[in-house]
Amino acid sequence: MPAWQSEYLTVNGARLHYTRTGGDKQPLLMAHGFSDDGPCWTLVAEALEADYDIIMPDARGHGLSEVTEGRITPMHMVNDLKAIIATLGLHKPIMLAHSMGALMTLAFAGSYPVIPKAILLEDPPAWWYEGGFPLAKSPEEYIQAHEGLMALKTQPREALIARRHQESPTWSDAEVGYWADSKLRLSPSALQMFQPTIQTSLDWKMLSQQVTCPALLLTAHVSLGGLISDEGASALQKLIPQLQVAHIGGAGHSVHREQMHKYMTAVKAFLASLTD
């Protein structure tokens, strides 16, 4: 990893870790997906750091952030994003986020619409839509998800890397390494985000309707593992009229890992369209 800042801050009773590229530039906060962590954004950050001060926090229970007692809820993560932005004094940050992080960023932009300059959402679960992808439909599925992720933590790093290369042959060696490290750092407490009640804990449709900043939704092929159908994307556009949609061909859920060039082309084009 490049020689970026690696720091901690205490917000909302939790000690959270973040990585930062630094510099007197437009702040760009990146929120990772479930079971990933801040360093999983490294290749994207390298592509953007010349023009942006990039902040990559580890969410609660992820990476080097503190494991807190009690349940981790979406509002914990939304309010953590708010506190990180306030504590670091980030003015009108752009927010780029993946999966779980994208869903929390959507909720954040609906809860605090005057704060972000723009949001870019990479394949979040479409919880604003009746047919949206559920993390778990039942307690049994939650248990299965818990057991599956815990099994990853028992494997040596080399075994995780070999497995990911086999399952995702288009990922670069660097991406696979960051992915493996994030799984080994993951806390069991983070798995609470798989509980069936999490999906209905917020009014995602109402929050989406309250987003006022420019927004980009990056979607992938459902047949390759993408979470958002064409119907789900259209439903979000009806809630957020200014929302742009970029469909990335040949990609599944981890769009930035599977089609980096196409992903960065779409991201940079949207960023270039923003005005002060």
DSSP string, 67-119: PPSS---HHHHHHHHHHHHHHTT--S-EEEEETHHHHHHHHHHHHSTTS-SEE
Tokens of 222: 């459902």
| CA–CA separation, 55 and 18 (whole Å) | 7
pLDDT at 137 over 70: no
The answer to whether the CB of 220 falls within 8 A of the CB of 252 is yes
pLDDT at 76 over 90: no
β-strand pairing of 94-98 with 118-122: parallel
| CA–CA separation, 243 and 214 (whole Å) | 7
pLDDT at 201 over 90: no
First to last CA, the chain: 31
| CA–CA separation, 186 and 63 (whole Å) | 6
Phi, psi at 247, each rounded to 5°: -90, 125
Beta bridge partners of residue 26, listed in sequence order: 52
pLDDT at 41 over 80: yes
| CA–CA separation, 41 and 32 (whole Å) | 7
Instruction: Give the confidence band of 36 by pLDDT, cuts at 50, 70, 90.
Output: very high
pLDDT of 219 reads 98
Q: How many separate helices (H) and strands (E) can be counted in the chain?
A: 10, 8
β-strand pairing of 14-20 with 52-57: antiparallel
Tokens of 195: 């509980």
| Whole-structure pTM value | 0.95
| CA–CA separation, 206 and 111 (whole Å) | 10
pLDDT at 276 over 80: no
Instruction: Give the confidence band of 159 by pLDDT, cuts at 50, 70, 90.
Output: very high
pLDDT at 70 over 80: no
The mean pLDDT of the chain is 92
Kindly state the average pLDDT of the residues 37-44.
Answer: 98
Instruction: Give the confidence band of 136 by pLDDT, cuts at 50, 70, 90.
Output: low
At residue 119, what is the residue type? I
> Which of 76-85, 141-150, 229-238 is predicted with the least confidence, judged by mean pLDDT?
141-150
pLDDT at 124 over 80: yes
Q: CATH number of 5-273: 1.10.3720.10, 2.60.40.1120, 3.40.50.2300, 3.40.50.1820?
A: 3.40.50.1820
SS3 170: coil
Per residue in 209-234, is it b (16+ CB within 10 Å) or e — as a string? eebebbbbbbbbbbeeebbbbeebbe
pLDDT of 153 reads 84
85 or 76, higher pLDDT:
85
Residue with tokens 């086999």: 166
pLDDT of 271 reads 98
